[in-house]
């Protein structure tokens, strides 16, 4: 990377300030110590764990002021928005699509502040994060924080493999740029794991904890941890389902009297599972017992030294020889790396790309070691060095794991792991062990037998690599043609043995072979299945718990064995590599794998009975013990079957569903069923009569599981009664959802959503009505209404409401302000687009009222005190109306969203509505269609865009639909026939199915007819979806 343009010409500008950010405080300290030497000065950072170091140095012949600090791993986390936190009220399926946020964690805020402060004074940002995918991702988290504080920062990347002076100096002089594609691959993995893990964890936990006893608090699922569990369960099932099978083999032994050496010959057939056949062959040998040597082969043999050490192999060796878990191994290796004793411990590379001289330098660091020093000196002095073998993998980021400094001062587990790495490295640069091997082939009764012996001629690497054995095995000096009588000749009976349960070494190797996890994450996945109580570990052997067995068996019986198999995760890991290579985008990979798991989840919802049945073989259902008061007391909202009313020994009561194994606690008081069904959870409501004979209502489920997303009140309750619920559609829910505080002077009471007495809609009323406050907002009828968490920027403290209209009932022009589901989120005190839809009553004039509504257009303000356009008398009866019945009294400016205009030059050119009148032309001022003209009739609710209207021609004048009405000419918006004109019934409601292309049937494509014909009952308001 060239700094000519970044640093400027020499002596022309002050020294650049490089903000260097490491992944851990210990790494930052070592970088400052190595690069700054005695000139490095430290000072406290804004985070007590992340100090700041300063020094000056030359970078590419330019003087630079270096500022070194650190983070502590990932700075940010990926999570869902707060409204998704309630597992019961939030629809689980929506987690596949809802937005995710990547934000700085609360416990990292001080680290963020530290970075921002230092970034403001810097000219360049140098990322010294670990050189792997996770490190690249953390780099971009640091970049995001620092760039927010100083957008002019130049961003650079340091690539290093160890904390030696040689590596660090080379890294600072060869700075590059961060790898965004590797970071995006991590972002994709994090989002996929979050979505899939959250959905299936909630699904399992909510379904199983309510129905079975002794379940853990959270029954988690992860797309990596579950295949890892699957390997353990699969081996367990193999062992449990194993059936031993007998086999027979011929054992031939010869003892030479002169040397008293006993040799065991191996039968060439090894073993037979058919006893009669084995008996016939054995009898042939017994009848002809002379053994004749037919071949003696002597040849040199080599035992290869190991390839250089990668992360997965380190974990396997530490598990096998040191009895360390993979988690412990990586923790110790990370500590040794931070102490500059080892190279970076997370690498897939098993080949050295450095020179022999550099390798010999690494050998010499062990010459002073009390245990390894003698062997290291022999390699240097006795020509024992040999270039290491070349492995198959090279991640182009880090070399194999090797010592960088002597570790003679270490002790305990650190010394054990360091010595394992050091012995492996020294073995890599040694020569292979050699031996002379003899293979003897002999026959007896027509059957062939072999034996072999060897004499080790040079141990070489075996002298230091104590983890492998290779010994002499002496046999007599047989010659071709020699004959002898066997000392022992028997037909041995044995049986097959079951496979052993997986050890941690076996599990690591299996995960690596099938691509589950990476060298950096395998240890974490193994730790997760142990922490989640899916497996137990005794003596490094993994045994699945009954929870692990139950889950894997349940998904297998549901037809989703793939969840516990490695194929899906391995495919995802391969797609992440495609992101790094640039052959796939982050969103493509996310969409592909989320869609795959979404399909499985939706099928699983339909098969919950199989899941419950399978888990029920391992766990007992929740038992609500006690006296049964009523066998059929109320109706369960899940299975629609009767629930029992039970009384326990402590006089508390529960309602219990035998089918769902669901038990719900009840309050004190006399309980009687109410015919009303809760609209939230479909459970039958109960009446509760207290000691004072007052009656209130509860939903059995909502009582102990209050919904958190209806209103402000429910979110704070531990138990909820119906009078505390603000659900708008329930007549028993008398709590109100607050929208704003009343703006009338001297009032300030809450404005709440209230259901109309006739049940046909809602209005917003002031709780101050008892004090004669007349303020209310009338809303359209026949709508669904909910209060949004979004606030109004014009009226501080006011919340917007979401209204869902019904197509065909409400005016068509209202629909153009809605989304595709006919939903409009707006502030009712700002909204001025709904003709005759919203009216604000009882808003008294005065300084406060004028202040709040000065930005609202064309309104009629009635009431005392104030003058101006539209002002009238009568404080209590004052009305602020939108385009309503008082339009003739409204002298304010016309609405900004629609403006009435004159008819076009020829009135006959406009369309005729259902009232047989020529339509009025209006102009849209909406955000979606600003300035677009449309035809509209407020009586029959006719609507059509002007640019979509085609005036009837002479040919069309005679076109009649099946209703004997003159046809409309419409323009297709479909992809296949965009811009093509067709005849259609002019009715907006109850239209007939008449359809014909204007350009004639010759161009009609029959195979597309069903798609091209607009749906029955379509209106003049044409959307693209009408022509699909």
Distance CA 118, CA 473 (A): 68
888: CB partners within 8 A, 6+ apart: none
Would you call 225 helix, strand, or coil by DSSP? helix
Would you call 933 helix, strand, or coil by DSSP? strand
DSSP code of residue 503: B
Are 575 and 586 in contact, with CB atoms under 8 Å apart?
no
How many CB atoms neighbour CB 452 within 10 A? Answer: 16
DSSP code of residue 352: -
- The strand pair at 261-267 and 653-657 is best described as unpaired
Distance CA 959, CA 981 (A): 14
Order of strands, edge to edge, in the sheet holding 695-698? 670-677, 684-689, 695-698
Distance CA 401, CA 520 (A): 13
Distance CA 608, CA 610 (A): 5
Distance CA 998, CA 799 (A): 50
For the chain, what's the residue count?
1028
Task: Report the chain's C-alpha Rg in angstroms.
Answer: 41
Distance CA 520, CA 348 (A): 9
Q: Is 304 exposed, middle or buried (0-12, 13-18, 19+ CB in 10 A)?
A: exposed
Nearest to 962 by CA among 919, 996, 997, 912: 996
In this structure, what are the phi and psi dihedrals at residue 512, rounded to the nearest 5 degrees? -65, -40
One-character DSSP codes across 298-348: EEEEEEPPPPPB-HHHHHHHIIIII---HHHHHHHHHHHHHTTSB--S---
Distance CA 899, CA 886 (A): 18
Catalytically annotated residue among 337, 344, 534, 817: 344
Nearest to 675 by CA among 697, 691, 692, 695: 697
Distance CA 831, CA 55 (A): 61
Q: Is 344 among the catalytic positions?
A: yes
Are 343 and 337 in contact, with CB atoms under 8 Å apart?
yes
Distance CA 187, CA 196 (A): 14
In this structure, what are the phi and psi dihedrals at residue 434, rounded to the nearest 5 degrees? -130, 155
Q: In what helix (H) or strand (E) does residue 134 lie, and over which residues does it extend?
A: helix 133-149
| Own/partner long-range contacts of 199-202 (Cβ < 8 Å, ≥24 apart) | 199/92, 199/93, 199/95, 199/96, 199/597, 199/601, 200/597, 200/601, 202/87, 202/92, 202/95
Nearest to 787 by CA among 749, 735, 737, 838: 737
Q: In what helix (H) or strand (E) does residue 784 lie, and over which residues does it extend?
A: strand 784-791
* Distances 133 to 112, 579, 587 between C-alpha atoms, Å: 21, 11, 18
Nearest to 779 by CA among 747, 741, 805, 808: 805
Nearest to 117 by CA among 73, 74, 148: 148
Kindly list the catalytic residues. Answer: 344
């Amino acid at each position: 990377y060239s700094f000519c343009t970044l640093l400027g010409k020499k002596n022309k500008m002050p020294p650049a300030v490089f903000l260097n950010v490491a992944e851990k405080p210990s790494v930052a300290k070592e970088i400052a110590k190595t690069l700054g030497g005695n000139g490095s000065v430290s000072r406290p950072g804004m985070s007590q764990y992340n100090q700041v170091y300063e020094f000056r140095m030359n970078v590419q012949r330019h003087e630079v002021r270096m500022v070194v600090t650190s983070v502590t791993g990932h700075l940010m986390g990926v999570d869902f928005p707060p409204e998704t936190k309630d597992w019961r009220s939030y629809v689980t399926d929506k987690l596949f699509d809802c937005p995710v946020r990547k934000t700085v964690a609360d416990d990292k805020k001080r680290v963020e502040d530290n970075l921002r402060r230092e970034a403001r004074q810097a000219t360049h940002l140098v990322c010294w994060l670990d050189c792997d995918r996770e490190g690249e991702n953390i780099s971009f988290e640091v970049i995001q924080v620092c760039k927010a504080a100083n957008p002019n920062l130049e961003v650079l990347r340091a690539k290093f493999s160890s904390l030696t002076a040689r590596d660090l100096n080379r890294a600072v002089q060869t700075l590059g740029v961060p790898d965004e594609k590797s970071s995006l691959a991590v972002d994709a993995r994090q989002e996929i794991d979050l979505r899939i893990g959250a959905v299936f964890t909630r699904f399992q936990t909510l379904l199983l904890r309510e129905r079975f006893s002794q379940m853990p608090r959270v029954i988690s699922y992860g797309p990596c941890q579950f295949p890892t569990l699957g390997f353990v369960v699969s081996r367990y099932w193999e062992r449990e389902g194993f059936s031993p099978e007998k086999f027979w083999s011929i054992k031939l032994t010869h003892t030479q009297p002169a040397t008293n050496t006993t040799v065991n010959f191996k039968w060439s057939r090894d073993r037979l599972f058919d006893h009669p056949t084995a008996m016939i062959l054995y009898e042939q040998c017994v009848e002809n017992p002379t053994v004749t040597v037919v071949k003696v082969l002597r040849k040199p043999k080599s035992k290869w030294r190991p390839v250089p050490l990668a992360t997965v192999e380190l974990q396997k060796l530490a598990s096998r020889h040191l009895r360390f878990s993979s988690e412990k191994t990586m923790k110790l290796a990370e500590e040794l790396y931070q102490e500059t004793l080892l190279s970076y411990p997370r690498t897939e590379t098993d080949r050295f790309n450095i020179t022999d001289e550099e390798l010999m330098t690494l050998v010499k660091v062990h010459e002073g070691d009390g245990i390894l020093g003698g062997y290291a000196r022999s390699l240097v002095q006795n020509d024992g060095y040999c270039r290491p073998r070349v492995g198959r993998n090279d991640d182009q980021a880090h070399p194999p794991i090797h010592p960088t400094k002597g570790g003679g001062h270490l002790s305990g587990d650190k010394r054990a792991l360091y010595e394992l790495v050091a012995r492996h490295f020294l073995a890599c640069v040694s020569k292979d062990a050699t031996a002379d091997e003899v293979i003897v082939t002999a026959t007896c009764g027509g059957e062939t037998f072999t034996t072999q012996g060897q004499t080790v001629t040079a141990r070489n690497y075996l002298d230091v690599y104590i983890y492998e054995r290779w010994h002499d095995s002496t046999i007599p000096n047989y010659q071709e043609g020699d004959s002898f009588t066997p000392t022992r000749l028997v037909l041995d009976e044995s049986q097959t043995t079951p496979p052993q349960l997986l050890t941690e070494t076996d599990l690591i190797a299996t995960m690596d072979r099938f691509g589950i996890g990476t060298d950096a994450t395998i240890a974490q996945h193994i730790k997760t299945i142990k922490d989640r109580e899916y497996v137990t570990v005794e003596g490094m052997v993994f045994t699945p718990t009954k929870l692990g067995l139950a889950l894997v068996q349940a998904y297998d019986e549901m037809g989703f064995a793939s969840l516990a198999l490695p194929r899906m995760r391995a495919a995802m890991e391969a797609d992440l590599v495609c992101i790094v290579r640039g052959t796939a985008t982050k969103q493509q990979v996310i969409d592909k794998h989320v869609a795959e798991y979404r399909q499985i989840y939706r099928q699983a919802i339909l098969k919950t009975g199989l899941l419950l049945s399978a888990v029920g073989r391992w766990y007992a259902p929740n038992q609500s013990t006690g006296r049964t008061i009523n066998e059929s007391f109320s109706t369960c909202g899940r299975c629609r079957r009767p629930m029992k009313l039970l009384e326990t020994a402590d006089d508390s009561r529960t309602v219990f569903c035998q089918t769902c194994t669901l038990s719900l606690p009840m309050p004190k008081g006399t309980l009687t069923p109410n015919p009303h069904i809760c609209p939230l959870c479909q459970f039958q409501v109960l009446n509760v009569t207290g000691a004072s004979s007052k009656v209130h209502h509860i939903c059995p489920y909502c009582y102990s599981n209050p919904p958190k997303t209806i209103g402000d009140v429910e979110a704070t309750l531990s138990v909820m009664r119906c009078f505390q619920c603000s659900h708008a559609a329930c007549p028993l829910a008398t709590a109100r959802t607050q929208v704003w505080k009343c703006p009338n002077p001297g009032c300030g009471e809450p404005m709440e959503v209230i259901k109309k007495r006739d049940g046909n809609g809602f209005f917003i009323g002031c709780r101050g009505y008892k004090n004669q406050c007349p303020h209310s907002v009338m809303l359209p009828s026949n709508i669904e209404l909910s209060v949004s968490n979004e606030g109004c920027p014009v009226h501080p403290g006011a919340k917007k409401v979401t209204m869902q209209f019904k197509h065909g009932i409400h005016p068509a022009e209202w629909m153009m302000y809605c989304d595709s589901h006919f939903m409009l989120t707006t502030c009712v005190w700002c909204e001025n687009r709904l003709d005759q839809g919203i009216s604000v009553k009882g808003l008294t004039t005065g300084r406060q009222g004028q202040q709040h509504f000065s930005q609202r257009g064309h309104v009629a303000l009635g009431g005392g005190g104030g003058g101006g356009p539209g002002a009238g008398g009568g404080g209590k009866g004052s009305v602020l109306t939108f385009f309503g019945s008082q339009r003739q009294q409204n002298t304010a400016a016309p609405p900004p969203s629609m403006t009435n205009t004159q008819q076009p030059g020829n009135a006959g050119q406009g369309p005729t509505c259902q009232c047989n009148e020529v339509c009025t032309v209006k102009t849209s001022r909406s955000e979606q269609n600003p300035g677009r003209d449309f035809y509209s009739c407020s009586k029959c609710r006719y609507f059509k865009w002007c640019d979509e209207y085609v005036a009837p021609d002479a040919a069309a004048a005679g076109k009649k639909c099946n209703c004997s009405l003159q046809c409309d000419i419409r323009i297709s918006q479909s992809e296949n026939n965009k811009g093509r004109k067709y005849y259609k019934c002019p009715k907006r409601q109850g239209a007939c199915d008449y359809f014909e292309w204007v350009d004639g049937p010759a161009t009609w494509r029959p195979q597309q007819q069903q798609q091209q014909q607009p749906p029955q009952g379509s209106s003049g308001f044409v959307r693209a979806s009408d022509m699909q």
